[in-house]
Structure 1
Amino acid sequence: MIKKITCILLLTVSFVWSQAPTVGLLFLHNNVSEGYTLFTPEVNNSVYLINNCGEKVNEWTFTELPGATCYLLENGTLLRAGKDKLEIRDWDNTVLWNYEMNTNGLNQHHDIEPLPNGNILCIITDSYSNTEIIANGKDPLKVDQVIGLDKIVELKPIGTDNAEIVWEWKFIDHLIQDYDNTKANFGIIGNHPELIDINYVDSNVENLERGYTHVNGIDYNANLDQIIISARNLNEIYIIDHSTTTTEASGHTGGNSNLGGDILWRWGNPRVYKQGGVEDQKLFSQHDVKWVEPGYLDEGKISVFNNGEYETRAYSTVHLLDPEISGNTYTKENNTFKPLNFNWSWGGSILERTMYEEIKSGTHSLPNGNFIICESSLGQVSEITKAGEHVWTYKNPSGNSIFNQFENVSPNFNSIFRAEKYPSNYIGFSGKDLTPKGIIENENSVSNACLTLSIVQYEINNIRVINPVSGNVLKFNQNIKLDAIRIIDMNGRIIFTSKNFFDDHVPINVKSGFYIIEFEKEEIIRRIKIIVN
């Protein structure tokens, strides 16, 4: 993997290859962040962990296709949602725990979230007949035979194959409607941003049996003891209180917020609670909402992948949001929750293709502020900087079989729902064998260049200078072999140069003062400031 250079330096890298790869590592820049990327192909049973050079570091193989996501836990085990089962496996692929969700009446979908206490938050389909939903104030003209809302359950793993539901939250308990004053939940929608208008979406918008709310992402904030979820069909994201009991979560009081299970904060489409027009909508079929991790550059902000919406907005973007909290209350302005706009946004092209994913996909922030972007249909994961600089792209080569270079890979044949990048110092890697095991595909010129770069960069990074310099001799900690070595004064003039250098010192004859020594090897350049006495 590529090592960061921590001294005062300038690093430049360029790659040249005769034919660009079509799978595996497609692009690499030296500003890529250190770490390992975890992904699960949608069309086979594998889970892969790769390094920045596109080499496989570990692989887990399951007995069923993925339901969607997987996470590497802080104890080094892997949590994966399958089509039916939740499973936890150790680094060596041994099953430690599995639980059959469907058999136990839990239709889990899209995303899960591991909690610090070892429990797991799950998004569950919560279905109701048209009779039941009409009794809750749904306009009979906007209802199918069955409507799927969503609920969140917290599972506590027990033994090796069992679990207990220890907490639950449901959308059905937090509805409002202004259609029928003889039915439940009647009220003025604009006065109750803590509730969901059951009549906002009608049956012509989407198959409501799949989900009126269609929650597709969930995350947990341990500092706040709050949960954030993404409701695709409402184009909104919501924060709810996890500090409640299940009884309190079904009502409107209790918990740290004393709002029970009502919505604490919502954002993306204020039309849903009648506080704006079309021009105020900011999110469009969004996915993968997350808080930025503690200790990261943008700690506490919220990241989200903004898909776009067919003909309305035929492009995708990624964003950061920065909600404002006063006490235990999220603040509003003109009756809409703050912020009024995104804290940061990026949208554009990756490898000359405009980013546009109508469904699925995801994003999250990294420790240095860089962003991971997953384009699901392409099976492609990229990294960009906050300045919008493209620094890394990897395309999943694993479908029903392994795609090799220059084979035609149609969209969705190598798809991945999401990908997670973990920094190199992530606690879950402690004591684990991170030895690269080669690329997944048959060949890759960019990976080969990356591996060469890693070796050279490691060598050049290990050069130490005895600083300050005295006795007209610039000394190093070892014999160094370089394509060139230069000394540059503070005016930018090269006052000494030596090509094909191999020695442990350089005789110099310069005045006292500050200088830059420049090392060059295989197009990598490192610069260090030195003091000459």
Structure 2
Amino acid sequence: MVLIKKITCILFLLTSVVWSQNPTVGVLFSNNGATEGYTLFTPEVNNSVYLINNCGEKINEWTFTEFPGITCYLLENGTLLRAGDNLLEIRDWDNTVLWSYEIQANGINQHHDIEPLPNGNILCVVRDTYLRNDIIAYGKDPLKVGAYIDLDKIVELKPIGANDAEIVWEWKFIDHLIQDHDATKLNYGNVQNHPEKIDINYVDPYFEASDRGYTHVNSIDYNDSLDQIIISARHLNEIYIIDHSTTLVQASGNTGGNFNRGGDILWRWGNPMVYKQGGADDQKLFLQHDAKWVEPGYLDAGKISVFNNGGEDFRLYSSVHLISPEIIDNAYLKDNNTFKPIYFNWSWSGTILGKTMFENKKSGAHSLPNGNFIICETSLGQVSEITKTGELVWTYKNPSGNRIFNQFENISTNFNSIFRAEKYPANYIGFSGKDLTPKGLIENENSISSACATLNIVQDEIDNVRVINPVVGNVLKFSKKIELDAIRIIDINGRVTFTSKNFLGDHVLINVNSGFYFIEFEKERIIKRIKIIVN
């Protein structure tokens, strides 16, 4: 397995010099802080899915028959799950179709996101459309609806055979509405007293009252330990947690499941105005995307990450956040009837390569094992990694759109767009047994990638050097013949007691006293240090 290794500060300076040549696609920036791993993305305007390493080299490519619709995931068994315009497909590492299901032909208007479940089933975000009179029957103010209204529903599909599926669970917004407009309707009530319901008559001030896309869910994620689902409703500026442990019938009601709340909302956050618990100053999310739990075992495990878009009418920048819900005895806590926490656990907004991060549509972010963040800027087709202190450590710009772009070619906005990108750590189980040998760049060339790839070869070479330890008879032996720019012996006080330059061989004679030392190997400015004992 070829892994991206950490390099020295000296090497970072070298990389910075290379970056001054200003490539416009592929790796635009890299230093020694990028997390070891591989990034998966699907361009919005072609049929490919790519997996790349930190050098921007292609590790694998899957080619489909249609544009994405618009998400893909690498599963723990090494297969790829992708939503297309009309097909949900699972393909193996070699691009062989294992399962293909026509969603439109089966009456499933899937959009934006899907979520693989541990049992092999798939959660889909599905558009749920109602005629004007139908939604008025649920207490919708006739002045706040056009000819149609789109809510959303969550459908759980169980793949069957090679091209079939069964709906085994379903959750709908329509089943969990409340309104205080029409007292003759069954769902009439006091909105303030029912934060578990959605007010069908709330209208965001930045949308027309008759806008068709009322909820506009754009992401879905699953928490296995809680058996819960989180979704992001862009046009309500809120994210919601619902119970997945319910039966199909319970999901449409308000009892049953692990929380005994049925399909009612367990936790909501971002815009308490929707349930009449606060004003504009209390709104925290603005057209957000990609709400998901941080994975178990990660530094911020259990928290929720989200990309907070903003919009041209009210906030001309985007931000990324971590949120920490509070739960005790199967209940998410509230403060004065508003769900906690009051504010974000962590936030960042700023510039990436000198440009203010601002994406008022799509985009995403997620946390990595070490706490670093991956940020995807859709319109730029750009993926970056930052530390929790906001330091940029890696930026990659998708070179693939309706064609492959060249290293120094400028790309018009959205010609290389990607909805989201997923970075998997190098030890992700889905890579087990897979060929991770780099297969060249997607673009024609990239100076930063070339330097990175060369350094990785040297890094692997120097990492494979082994010392026969302890050293006996002043003969320092190695496990194989090696070629190095320099070998140094350093005592515990930091003094260099022995140096050999331009070394070639499998052993070297040293003349030092008995004791503990460090041996230092150097090749092409990469340095490795090993502790040795001299008898």
Same fold (TM over 0.5): yes
User: 1:520 Cα deviation (Å)?
Assistant: 2.6
2:512 equivalent in structure 1: 509
Question: Are positions 1:499 and 2:505 aligned together?
Answer: no
Tell me which moved more, 326-335 or 198-207: 198-207
Q: Secondary structure at the match of 1:377?
A: coil
Tell me which moved more, 75-84 or 216-225: 75-84
Q: Report matched runs for 1:81-230 at 5 Å.
A: 81-201=83-203, 205-206=207-208, 210-230=212-232
2:21 equivalent in structure 1: 19
TM-superposition CA deviations, 1:440-476 (whole Å, max 9, x none): 1111111111111101111222233455556556554
Instruction: Please give the alpha-carbon distance, in whole angstroms, between the structure 2 residues aligned to 1:125 and 1:397.
Output: 31
User: 1:320 Cα deviation (Å)?
Assistant: 1.5
Q: Would you say the 8 A contact 2:143–2:210 is kept in 1? A: no
Q: Aligned letter for 1:268?
A: G
Q: Report matched runs for 1:467-486 at 5 Å.
A: 467=469, 475-486=477-488
Q: Would you say the 8 A contact 1:113–1:218 is kept in 2? A: yes
Q: Which runs of 5+ in 2 are unaligned?
A: none
Q: Would you say the 8 A contact 1:89–1:96 is kept in 2? A: yes
RMSD, aligned α-carbons: 2.3
Q: Aligned letter for 2:59?
A: V
Instruction: Please give the alpha-carbon distance, in whole angstroms, between the structure 2 residues aligned to 1:484 and 1:45.
Output: 49
Tell me which moved more, 348-357 or 13-22: 13-22
> Residue 432 of structure 2 is aligned with which of 410, 415, 430?
430
TM-superposition CA deviations, 1:485-511 (whole Å, max 9, x none): 344455545454443344533514357
1:391 equivalent in structure 2: 393
Tell me which moved more, 248-257 or 82-91: 82-91
Tell me which moved more, 333-342 or 394-403: 333-342
The structure-2 alpha-carbon separation of the partners of 1:68 and 1:450, relative to structure 1 and needing over 3 Å to count, comes to same
Instruction: Please give the alpha-carbon distance, in whole angstroms, between the structure 2 residues aligned to 1:309 and 1:479.
Output: 61
Q: Which runs of 5+ in 1 are unaligned?
A: none
Instruction: Please give the alpha-carbon distance, in whole angstroms, between the structure 1 residues aligned to 2:474 and 2:336.
Output: 70
Instruction: Please give the alpha-carbon distance, in whole angstroms, between the structure 1 residues aligned to 2:517 and 2:9.
Output: 15
Question: Are positions 1:233 and 2:235 aligned together?
Answer: yes
Instruction: Please give the alpha-carbon distance, in whole angstroms, between the structure 2 residues aligned to 1:310 and 1:56.
Output: 36
TM-superposition CA deviations, 1:406-429 (whole Å, max 9, x none): 222011000011111122222222
Q: Would you say the 8 A contact 1:474–1:508 is kept in 2? A: no
Q: Would you say the 8 A contact 2:82–2:89 is kept in 1? A: yes
1:524 equivalent in structure 2: 526
Instruction: Please give the alpha-carbon distance, in whole angstroms, between the structure 1 residues aligned to 2:321 and 2:205.
Output: 30
Tell me which moved more, 26-35 or 108-117: 26-35
> Residue 248 of structure 2 is aligned with which of 246, 249, 268?
246
Instruction: Please give the alpha-carbon distance, in whole angstroms, between the structure 2 residues aligned to 1:500 and 1:192.
Output: 75
Give the total of aligned pairs. 530
Q: Report matched runs for 1:356-367 at 5 Å.
A: 356-367=358-369
The structure-2 alpha-carbon separation of the partners of 1:203 and 1:51, relative to structure 1 and needing over 3 Å to count, comes to same
Question: Are positions 1:284 and 2:286 aligned together?
Answer: yes
Instruction: Please give the alpha-carbon distance, in whole angstroms, between the structure 2 residues aligned to 1:471 and 1:207.
Output: 86
2:315 equivalent in structure 1: 313
Report sequence identity in percent: 74
Instruction: Please give the alpha-carbon distance, in whole angstroms, between the structure 1 residues aligned to 2:454 and 2:429.
Output: 28
TM-superposition CA deviations, 1:135-184 (whole Å, max 9, x none): 22222222222111101011111222222111110111111122232333
Task: Give me the TM-score of the superposition, normalised by structure 2.
Answer: 0.93
Instruction: Please give the alpha-carbon distance, in whole angstroms, between the structure 1 residues aligned to 2:429 and 2:466.
Output: 30
Instruction: Please give the alpha-carbon distance, in whole angstroms, between the structure 2 residues aligned to 1:313 and 1:35.
Output: 33
Q: Secondary structure at the match of 1:392?
A: strand
Instruction: Please give the alpha-carbon distance, in whole angstroms, between the structure 2 residues aligned to 1:302 and 1:470.
Output: 55
Q: Report matched runs for 1:350-429 at 5 Å.
A: 350-429=352-431
TM-superposition CA deviations, 1:389-416 (whole Å, max 9, x none): 2222211111111111222201100001
